[in-house]
Amino acid sequence: MDQKMTTGGEKLIQCLEREGVEYIFGLSGGAALPMFDALADSKIELVLVRHEQGATHMADGYARSTGKPGVVLVTSGPGATNTVTGLLTALMDSAPMIVISGQTISPMLGKDAFQEADVTGITYPVVKHSYLVKEAAEIPRIVREAFHVATTGRPGPVLIDVPKDIGQGPCDAPFTDELDLPGYSIPARGDTDAIAEMARHLSASKKPLLYVGHGAVIAGAGKAITSLAEKLRAPVVNTLLGKGAVDETHPLHLGMLGMHGTAYANKAVADCDLIMAIGARWDDRITGKLEEFCPDAVKLHIDIDPAEFDKIVKPDVSVLGDARLVVEDLIPLVEMADTQTWLAQCERWRKQYPLKYPKKGGLRAQHVLDRLNHISGGDAIITTDVGQHQMWAAQFCLTRNGRQWISSGGAGTMGFGWPAAIGAKFANPDQKVWAVVGDGGFQMTLCELATAQIHKIAAKCLVVNNNYLGMIRQWQELFYENRLSGADLVGNPDFVKLAEAYDVKAFRIKRAGDVDRILQEAHDYEDGPCVVVAEVVKEDNVFPMIPAGAAVKDMIIEPPKEKLEKPTGST
């Protein structure tokens, strides 16, 4: 080969440089060697992880905290299939991501070659789009399209599968900014007639409620939604992933709604006469028993994905478009609604059903997270895993700005929180980043302590350790006559010693009186990653709780005294 000829792998890395990629999170392997070889001469920093799942969650954390796509590079076969969980997580939560996988050489495709997997076929249901590169000349076009698709409209993950012979073969194709995407359109401003109709409904409502989701965070619609809420004098609730779109300390904010949302938010949802979803899908954890979900309310829906309309709830008026642009167009059309009585009722519910937890009987996770919220001042980026700690963190760690709350919502991916925090810290080196994880999920990706330590990434990991798969134990206690099965994590390691084995600074909290001092010390520690292990009460439950498939009237606010029926809904 001509020494001056660029290889396919080099061209691909150069295309990533043109897209402004700073980091690639990846794990090397034979079929991906042409790309890894090209990275040796690139200004892009390779973050070598310990497991491909960790790479995808780091890329996800990077993406959600910046809005820019996170990039992953892995090899073929199991290297590629190990990204499937991360792809699903990113797809369900609309996170932009580019996963580049090596593949066996083109002549061996479909012949069960070593480490061959049909990764484009395997991942079709969990990507926004995927490419199998068949000719090196396609690389510039494919990379340009992949970034465009991943970041526009409803963001999502895109896969690029590169056979090794194409990666190491010649490529003299020029760079291009042209796009060849017939049928792919990006909604922007909404239909003016529909927006005007929405405005009439909002102005006439006596009990309006704004229901804000992750789409509002992605669109940067928070300022506009706050202005709309203030003009209407309408209360706001958010989904788990909608935290931070509107400052949760704002007087009109009622917190998170849904299965483990605040009681006052759910009371408002049940009693409103109008609910407007902004960048939020009508998730089953939000609606519960669908036929009893605010049945008498006018339902309005703003979304950038037309597939969300009529999927769960049929709205009275829907507007396809960017959430920020649509709300900005709405504001001048609405008139101040007569909501004084409604707001007074919401405040009564807020005082009647506050979030609370026992102050005695051992170290409480809620207390630790309440104090973390105080010490971080609501300014830290917080990532979470999935389970009880996630819901407690959502309840007690109030988020003031978008892109500060990063949690696996739709997929509910255990193992997400810690690597997502590493990715977020790479992207935001000057910002405090805390991962809140459970002892179950942490053990799925804790090998990335090594990744954080090598790069001196000063992300902090709070392990809420109750030695259980806590949410499973809670469900079995409440709905399965406390017949515990597959919930006890007997055999857990000493997480402090384990962190120290990675040469990572570690703390342990056993007493409530030590919480503030240790959290503050960890918060101030900037020499690298650190782990705080909170040894919390083993058997504690998350309340409020609306059992899956039930209605707001069935909400459990305190430990029940009677036997409960098994939930009819999913998880």
Note the pLDDT tens digit of each residue in 220-255.
999 999 999 999 999 999 999 999 999 999 999 999
pLDDT classification of 272: cutoffs 50, 70, 90: very high
pLDDT at residue 295 in the model: 85
Asked if the model's pLDDT at residue 470 lies above 50, the reply is yes
CA distance 205 to 170: 65
pLDDT tens track for 73-103: 999 999 999 999 999 999 999 999 999 999 9
CA distance 133 to 105: 11
Ranges of beta strands (E only) in 133-190 are: 157-163
- Catalytic entry in 11, 68, 128, 164: 164
Asked if the model's pLDDT at residue 386 lies above 80, the reply is yes
Instruction: Look up residue 335 and give its two tokens.
Output: 């008139």
- Catalytic entry in 19, 22, 92, 115: 115
pLDDT at residue 1 in the model: 46
pLDDT classification of 5: cutoffs 50, 70, 90: confident
pLDDT classification of 153: cutoffs 50, 70, 90: very high
pLDDT average, residue stretch 297-313:
96
Asked if the model's pLDDT at residue 477 lies above 90, the reply is yes
| 471 is a catalytic site residue | yes
pLDDT at residue 395 in the model: 98
Instruction: Look up residue 557 and give its two tokens.
Output: 């606010």
pLDDT at residue 3 in the model: 57
| 164 is a catalytic site residue | yes
With both helix axes pointing from N to C terminus, report the angle between 365-376 and 515-524 in degrees, rounded to the nearest 10: 40
Average pLDDT in the chain: 96
pLDDT classification of 337: cutoffs 50, 70, 90: confident
pLDDT at residue 445 in the model: 98
- Catalytic entry in 14, 35, 52, 395: 52
Asked if the model's pLDDT at residue 159 lies above 60, the reply is yes
Asked if the model's pLDDT at residue 358 lies above 60, the reply is yes
Q: What percent of the chain has pLDDT over 70?
A: 99
Name the residue with tokens 């991501």. 97
| 52 is a catalytic site residue | yes
Asked if the model's pLDDT at residue 377 lies above 60, the reply is yes
CA distance 369 to 381: 14
pLDDT average, residue stretch 154-179:
97
| Residue 45 bridge partners (DSSP) | 23
Asked if the model's pLDDT at residue 4 lies above 80, the reply is no
C-alpha dist (Å) from residue 373 to 166, 264, 288, 367, 398: 50, 20, 29, 10, 7
Instruction: Provide φ and ψ at 74, rounded to 5°.
Output: -140, 170
- Catalytic entry in 114, 206, 311, 481: 114
Residue 107: asked if its preceding bond is cis (omega within 30°), the reply is no
pLDDT at residue 162 in the model: 98
With both helix axes pointing from N to C terminus, report the angle between 222-232 and 323-330 in degrees, rounded to the nearest 10: 30
pLDDT tens track for 280-301: 999 998 999 998 999 889 999 9
**Edge-to-edge strands, sheet with 129-132:** 45-48, 23-26, 70-74, 97-103, 157-163, 129-132
pLDDT average, residue stretch 139-157:
98
DSSP class of residue 306 equals G
Asked if the model's pLDDT at residue 2 lies above 50, the reply is no
Asked if the model's pLDDT at residue 571 lies above 90, the reply is no
pLDDT classification of 533: cutoffs 50, 70, 90: very high
Name the residue with tokens 């484009």. 120
- Catalytic entry in 35, 58, 444, 471: 471
pLDDT at residue 561 in the model: 83
pLDDT average, residue stretch 548-559:
91
Q: How many CA within 13 A on the CB side of residue 299? A: 17
pLDDT average, residue stretch 339-344:
97
Asked if the model's pLDDT at residue 149 lies above 80, the reply is yes
The structure's pTM equals 0.97
